[in-house]
Amino acid sequence: MKKRNLTQFEEKTIRLCHHDFEGLSTAEAAKKLGCPPESIMSALRRIKKKAPQLFPILTPQHRAILLMYDKHMSVASMAKGLGISGDKLERKITFLREHKFLWNRKPDQYDPSMDGFVKERF
């Protein structure tokens, strides 16, 4: 039998709080599980030690930025849609890039290693 890294409570917690699953806040997850929010926070700290690849957990606003970015929206229209300033949006985009959720839309320059990705040559 395979040993589990996460307890059942930790697994429920990550499924409720992680942005790839339900994306609830710790208070909402605590209410759903019927426990205090502090136990959710301590479970998340334990999970981070056991499975750091699951972190950081994105906020709903970060998730919305990712969706808008995938639709190739401009920074100005994203900021207007989220109701935040352009500077604040730039900081959030920088955070997402630093944590490898986003990358530049266009390569900075051509590199011969990109040959395999060329679909049509002129």
pLDDT single digits (tens) 3-40: 778 999 999 999 999 999 999 999 999 999 999 999 99
- For residue 97, the surrounding DSSP H or E stretch is helix 86-98
Average pLDDT over residues 49-68: 91
Q: Pick from 96, 109, 87: which is nearest to 69 by CA?
A: 96
Q: With a threshold of 0.95, does the pTM exceed it?
A: no
pLDDT single digits (tens) 92-102: 999 999 988 88
Q: What are the angstrom distances between the C-alpha of 85 and each of 19, 46, 49, 82, 122?
A: 23, 35, 35, 9, 42
Contact (CB, 8 A) for 17 and 40: yes
Q: How confident is the model at residue 106 (pLDDT cuts 50, 70, 90)?
A: low
The pLDDT value given to residue 116: 73
Query: Is 108's pLDDT higher than 60?
Result: no
The pLDDT value given to residue 94: 92
